[in-house]
Structure 1
Amino acid sequence: MIKMELYEFALSGNCYKVRLMLSLLNLKYESRIVNGPEKEHKSSSFLEMNPFGQVPVFKDNDIVLRDSQAILVYLAKAYGGNDWFPENPFEAAEIVGWLSTAVNEVSRGPSALRAHFILGRPINLEEAQAVTTSLLSVLEKRLSEFQWLATNKITIADIAMYPYIALSHQGNVSLQEYKSVQDWMSRIQNLPGYISMLGLTP
């Protein structure tokens, strides 16, 4: 009997990062596609799982979790041993820093641009483009010196950051001049258990 459930939107990068992590850990789960146009995520039953009315929501038996970053932490700690979220205080802090970047600069930059160009969401276009350019510059410098973002091996920091960077072309952002970022994406795409999503260019 499948004990894990993921409530999700198919086109959400935040939901995809959880799907990707589940696949990398070889964990079986049941996908529950939430009906966005019907506002199912705002229904009373959904709000009981996440009062913010957002996906993803993840269930593992009696455990119910909201927020993709939090779900990544849970999966890493519960099923990833010490590999994906190490116990070392400095390495753990580095990972949390990148998880924060995923909900700050990534959300305000490439994620916002994608939502604008494929969903028509109104944004401050100039600001989102500036945030994206700055973010990609930081990533390029980091990844020109290190293979992975937080430590000397892949962690949930990389999984948290990857989707909206890889989907940035949908926000009219070119990664052509960011060779180290492209190489990092290729390393992730070559991982055993890697899965893609609609709109993501492998």
Structure 2
Amino acid sequence: MPDHTPHAVPALVLHDAPLSGHAHRVRLFLSLLGLPWRSQVVDLRAGEQRRPAFLALNRFGQVPMLQDGDVVLADSNAILVYLNARYAPQPARWLPTDPIGAAQVQRWLSLAAGPLASGPAAARIDMLMGRPRDEATIARAHALLQTMDAHLATQDFLAATHPTLADIAHYAYVAHAPEGHVALDGYPHLQAWLARIEALPGFLPMPRSAIGLRA
């Protein structure tokens, strides 16, 4: 398992799944913040997340899950908020504290838990699990990507003039949408946004599955 812990520095432990976009958003933010962390891979196919030892820490049986000493947190967006508030040198940059800025980021975090999860993420999961292609799911994915592309035609990042937790929460499932037969051709502003995220110092890519390549 990968170990990102400098010597003699206690590490955060991330219960992880390499091909999960939800897990990747946490890995990405940990890397962007330069935090020491250790990945504990959970074998989802074997049902490790449903075993008593795991459920004792997280009753919902979700990955990712973060352990920070005695603190145990599940839900990727909640983990982002926690890491930002506790460890980011400039937390207001990633999650603004002014009412409008905070609301803009929260709006996109809600979209990440809704249309992103039921669109690009669901289409990709169908392919990873060997399920039949679902045209309705793919249509939902394109509806979201069209809206995001139009939005990004007028600004460089989703919720502000600089990257925020909104961008971190959306990156992986958009970048890997072609693995679910959701091509990124025709979305130039979205592709430019992906390149901006990938150019951030400390950027950490997510492994690509064997079923597809980014268009």
TM interval, shorter chain, is: over 0.9
Normalised to the residue count of structure 1, the TM-score between the two structures is: 0.95
Shift of 1:122: 5.8
What is the CA deviation profile of residues 40-93 of structure 1, one whole-angstrom value per residue up to 9, with x for unaligned ones?
Answer: 110111112211111000011111110001011111111222211111111111
Corresponding residue SS for 1:83: helix
Amino acid in structure 1 at the alignment position of 2:41: I
Q: Does 1:196 align with 2:205?
A: yes
After TM superposition, which residue ranges in structure 1, 4 or more long, deviate above 3 angstroms?
Answer: none
What is the CA deviation profile of residues 126-184 of structure 1, one whole-angstrom value per residue up to 9, with x for unaligned ones?
Answer: 22122111101110111000111011111010000111000001011111100000000
* Equivalent residue in structure 2 for 1:105, among 96, 112, 115: 115
Looking at structure 2, the residues matched to 107 and 58 of structure 1 have their Cα atoms a distance apart, in angstroms, of: 20
Aligned residues: 201
Amino acid in structure 2 at the alignment position of 1:32: Q
* Equivalent residue in structure 2 for 1:137, among 115, 121, 146: 146
Shift of 1:38: 2.4
Does the CA-based 8 Å contact 1:4-1:30 persist in structure 2? yes
1:47 corresponding residue in structure 2: 55
RMSD after superposition: 1.5
Amino acid in structure 1 at the alignment position of 2:163: I
Shift of 1:2: 2.1
- CA pair 177-196 structure 1, distance change in 2 beyond 3 A: same
Does the CA-based 8 Å contact 1:112-1:128 persist in structure 2? yes
Shift of 1:121: 3.9
Q: How does 1:1-202 map to 2 (within 5 A)?
A: 1-80=9-88, 81=90, 82-121=92-131, 125-199=134-208, 201=214
Amino acid in structure 2 at the alignment position of 1:98: W
Looking at structure 2, the residues matched to 182 and 105 of structure 1 have their Cα atoms a distance apart, in angstroms, of: 19
What is the CA deviation profile of residues 90-141 of structure 1, one whole-angstrom value per residue up to 9, with x for unaligned ones?
Answer: 1111111101111110111111111111222467x12212211110111011
Normalised to the residue count of structure 2, the TM-score between the two structures is: 0.89
Q: Specify every segment of 5 or more residues in structure 2 that has no aligned partner in the other structure, as ranges.
A: 1-8
Q: Specify every segment of 5 or more residues in structure 1 that has no aligned partner in the other structure, as ranges.
A: none
Percentage identity across paired residues of the two chains:
40
